[in-house]
Chains A and B, each alone.
Chain A
Amino acid sequence: SQTIHQWPATLVQPVGSPLSLECTVEGTSNPNLYWYRQAAGRGLQLLFYSVGIGQISSEVPQNLSASRPQDRQFILSSKKLLLSDSGFYLCAWSVSYSYEQYFGPGTRLTVT
């Protein structure tokens, strides 16, 4: 069966520091991968999605970037964090021929 991992689970970082969040999927090949962010008390907003290695589409201009160095690995990065980057970051996957998405456990980021 397929599983999705995210780490770290929680993170507290100072303003101006770099960021790297990792997401990996097991049990499937060539998945579509997604990064979403949830601000406190709000719904989720899509940040990036990828249909293959090195293929990244950005939905919202921001201080963040994404990379997909391997088929089942998706990384969210920032060179310098802002206070507004705080939130709950969730990674999701779907099989390439389906729209149904499955979410990881998330990373709670607090920028101080």
Chain B
Amino acid sequence: GIQVEQSPPDLILQEGANSTLRCNFSDSVNNLQWFHQNPWGQLINLFYIPSGTKQNGRLSATTVATERYSLLYISSSQTTDSGVYFCAPGGSQGNLIFGKGTKLSVKP
């Protein structure tokens, strides 16, 4: 099955800093999603991005499917950005394969 590696595993930022989270996957995929898991466990959809680049406010994402990686950019980070960020490429049945996540802590 598809293997997913996310880096870094942990990230501590000062409020206002920028960051890049990386997701490598081992096989070609039909879909890829980025999620933010808040402290209450809710998974919040950030991007559905099987290829290309998308932007939503301070967040943007790029997936280069041919090279099997995706990047999530967070600019001008805020304390509310804290939590765990998951990359989840999709298998052939539409199921998502989750990485172990990047735990982000933004300090005021």
Interface residues of A (CB under 8 A from B): 32, 34, 36, 38, 42-46, 49, 57, 59, 88, 90, 92, 94, 99-103, 105-106, 108
Instruction: Give A36 to B94 CA distance when docked, in angstroms.
Output: 13
Interface residues of B (CB under 8 A from A): 4, 30-31, 33, 35, 40-43, 45, 48, 50, 86, 88, 90, 93-101
Instruction: Give A34 to B98 CA distance when docked, in angstroms.
Output: 14
Pair count A-B, CB < 8 A: 55
Contact B96 A57 (CB under 8 A): no
Residue in chain B with minimal CB distance to A44: B98
Contact A102 B98 (CB under 8 A): no
Instruction: Give A88 to B84 CA distance when docked, in angstroms.
Output: 15
- Shortest C-beta distance, B72 to chain A (Å), equals 15
Instruction: Give A38 to B90 CA distance when docked, in angstroms.
Output: 17
User: 16 new A-B pairs (CB below 8 Å) besides A34-B95, A99-B90?
Assistant: A32-B94, A43-B100, A44-B86, A49-B95, A88-B41, A99-B31, A99-B48, A99-B50, A100-B31, A100-B33, A100-B45, A101-B96, A103-B42, A105-B40, A106-B42, A108-B41
Q: Jot down 6 A-B pairs with beta carbons below 8 A, ordered by A.
A: A42-B100, A43-B4, A94-B94, A100-B31, A100-B48, A101-B33
- Shortest C-beta distance, A109 to chain B (Å), equals 12
Q: Which of B43, B90, B97, B101 contacts A90 (CB 8 A)?
A: B43
Q: Chain B residues near A102: list those with CB within 8 A.
A: 45
Instruction: Give A103 to B41 CA distance when docked, in angstroms.
Output: 11
Q: Which of A42, A46, A100, A108 contacts B95 (CB 8 A)?
A: A46
